[in-house]
């Protein structure tokens, strides 16, 4: 199994500012994913972040708004830039170790005022 | 395109009742994984099961059981003798299998079913 931690666990931010979310895994994994869960909704993939390559973004998500770093096999960051109230969501990272299931971090609850 | 449908938005039962959560999926892949996750009010996603498309055997884990039927593209989840602690949102999800090593891609989630178990 993989144990994932995220920082911060929650934050309240002002419109127009940026927040960087950190995701730390206790083992080396190649594939890491970032998801968004808007209030009362399901999870939607933002991007796939593989170490050693540029993140791949899903339709509707752009690098300027959600820049991602993946400096090594145990760590990644997601930045939510120039925030608006519509960005209020839970942001979750997940990993998919080979031959194992997909594990999720505890999530970052973001509220934008 | 891949799609997961959970037609039941909300279900309410009384404790000790059995309840089945439905999940229907669409995929063009011949090999894939199916998942169920539980999301309690605290918000974390709790992994319940992963099933390989090759394995159609039903599975039982305590009060939980899963019925996978490829012929109807369904992967239903039954809770027997429900308890108040089972109250949560339950998500069914699908991913492709990327290679012979079994690595999986990102998850495609259904909209979730909110289960309320009343005492």
| Alpha-carbon gap: B103 to the closest alpha carbon of chain A (Å) | 5
Q: Give the DSSP letter of residue A1.
A: -
More confident residue, B6 or A29: B6
Nearest to B44 among A31, A101, A106 (CB): A106
For chain B, give the longest Cα–Cα distance: 47
**Start-to-end Cα distance in chain A:** 37
Q: What is the mean pLDDT of residues A67-83?
A: 95
- The chain-wide mean pLDDT, for chain B, equals 93
pLDDT at B92: 98
CB atoms within 10 A of CB B55: 10
Q: Is the Cβ–Cβ distance between B104 and B33 less than 8 Å?
A: yes
Amino acid B56: pLDDT? 83
Query: Which pLDDT score is estimated for B102?
Result: 65
Mean pLDDT over the full length of chain A: 93
Q: How confident is the model at residue B54 (pLDDT cuts 50, 70, 90)?
A: confident
Tens-digit pLDDT profile for residues A3-17:
999 999 999 999 999
More confident residue, B20 or B2: B20
Q: Is A17 on the interface with B (CB under 8 A)?
A: no
Rounded Cα–Cα distance for residues B115 and B117 (Å): 6
Partners of B25 in beta bridges: B4
Q: Does A111 touch chain B (CB under 8 A)?
A: no
Interface residue of B6, B46, B91, B106 to substitute, partner A, most A CBs within 10 Å: B106
B48 shares contact with chain A (CB less than 8 Å) = no
**Cβ count near B43 (within 10 Å):** 15
Q: What's the confidence (pLDDT) of residue B73?
A: 95
Which residues make Cβ contacts (< 8 Å) with residue A54, sequence separation at least 6? Answer: none
Tell me the two tokens of residue B86: 């089972």
Chain B nearest CA to A96, separation (Å): 7
Which range (B36-45, B51-60, B64-73) has the least confidence?
A: B51-60
What the block records as the tokens of B16 is 């000790």
């Amino acid at each position: 199994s993989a144990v994932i931690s995220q920082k911060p666990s929650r934050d309240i931010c002002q419109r127009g500012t940026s927040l960087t979310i950190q995701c730390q895994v206790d083992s080396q994994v190649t594939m890491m994913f970032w998801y968004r869960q808007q209030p009362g909704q399901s999870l939607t993939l933002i991007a796939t972040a593989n170490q050693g390559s540029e993140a791949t973004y899903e339709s509707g998500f752009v690098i300027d708004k959600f820049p991602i770093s993946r400096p090594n096999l145990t760590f990644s960051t997601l930045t939510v830039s120039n925030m608006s109230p519509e960005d209020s969501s839970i942001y979750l990272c997940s990993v998919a170790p080979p031959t194992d299931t997909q594990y999720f971090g505890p999530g970052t609850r973001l509220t934008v005022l | 395109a891949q799609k997961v449908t959970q037609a039941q938005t909300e279900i309410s039962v009384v404790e000790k009742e059995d309840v089945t959560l439905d999940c229907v999926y669409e995929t063009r892949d011949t090999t894939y994984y199916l998942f169920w996750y539980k999301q309690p009010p605290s918000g974390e996603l709790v992994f319940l099961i992963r099933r390989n498309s090759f394995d159609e055997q039903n599975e039982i884990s305590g009060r939980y059981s899963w019925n996978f039927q490829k012929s109807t593209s369904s992967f239903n989840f039954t809770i027997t003798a429900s308890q108040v602690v089972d109250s949560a949102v339950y998500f069914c999800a699908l991913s492709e299998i990327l290679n012979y090593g079994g690595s999986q891609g990102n998850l495609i989630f259904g909209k979730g079913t909110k289960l309320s178990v009343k005492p």
